[in-house]
Amino acid sequence: MILTVTLNTALDVTYTVDALVPHSSHRVGEVSERPGGKGLNVARVLGALGHDTVVTGFVGGATGGVLRDLLAPLPPRDALVPVAGNTRRTLAITDRSTGDTTQLNEPGPQVSGAEWAAFLRTYEELLGAADAVALCGSLPPGIHVGAYAELVRIARAASVPVLLDTSGEPLRRGIAARPDLVKPNADELAQLTGFREPLRAAGDARRRGAHAVIASLGPEGLLAVTPQGTWRAAPPAAVRGNPTGAGDSAVAGLLSALAEGLDWPGRLARAVALSTATVLAPAAGEFDAEAYAELLPRVSVESAGEAA
């Protein structure tokens, strides 16, 4: 079983308009809702790949009820922890004329000390059956900034491989707890280390405590700096589409390949193919299965250096 943690779950609402024009009124062509937050996105992709997956984190209020109803028929199993506050919404506005998406993210519910303690009990129980765990996304109000570092330490004590995908101070503190893998994008990596050059920044992130660093380079693919070597992986060609959820699909690719025992080139090829297939999918945050199958053997994975 693969466990994903989304402390700040969301109900993702997507509006599609012909053209997004500031300071004007719009007629919405399509509206869609889906359970969201980075870890839930990862879990949906893992489920589509056939992996047994459990989701946990916080959920509450009327919005949380809608989220759980939407999650119920999907493959990931629901082990979310209830809170008194209302789960946040994220609003994505997709412009048909350009393909661009504008995102508005609410902050999330206030989480109490008692609710955090209840989550920790659930998390420790779930780790007992987990082959790997992904800690994903932002922290809701009320959760201390070192929360991910605490969760990394608990996973390591249970001998469960842990992937961390967050940003800012939670990433800085989480890396110090020595996760097995972190997956920042280039901007998050630069903010963490002060270095703009991805290879130098990833090396610095490893020295700060991460066992392996997978840096997302956007349409250019991924850079991996690991104890076994350094690689760059890129899609066969640039694609246009909606990038929403592409990074989460990359995390799902890395986790699924880890669970299946693939080597680093195999993990990176799967992550890049899934990420690219997500950009090409008609629905935000989903991946195009046919595109994924066609892309996977064509992803370029090249060695970029010896073991770090």
Residue 78 annotated in active site? no
| Annotated catalytic residue, options 12, 165, 180, 248 | 248
- Quote the tokens at residue 180: 């097995």
pLDDT of 81 higher than 60: yes
Q: Give yes or no for a contact between 104 and 91, defined as CB atoms under 8 angstroms apart.
A: yes
DSSP string spanning 29-64? -EEEEEEESHHHHHHHHHHHTT--EEEEEEEEHHHH
**Strands annotated E in 129-279:** 132-136, 162-165, 181-182, 212-216, 222-226, 229-234
Beta bridge partners of 16: 30, 94
Split at pLDDT 50, 70, 90, the class of 88 is very high
Instruction: Please tell me the predicted confidence (pLDDT) of residue 29.
Output: 86
**pLDDT over 70 at 48, yes or no:** yes
Q: What is the residue-averaged pLDDT of the chain?
A: 93
**Model's pTM, two decimal places?**
0.92
Give the whole-angstrom CA distance, residue 264 versus residue 261: 9
117-164: pLDDT as tens digits = 999 999 999 999 999 999 999 999 999 999 999 999 999 999 999 999
C-beta of residue 5 within 8 angstroms of C-beta of residue 130: no
3-state SS, residue 95 = strand
Q: What is the dihedral of CA 68, 71, 75, 80, to 10 degrees?
A: -30
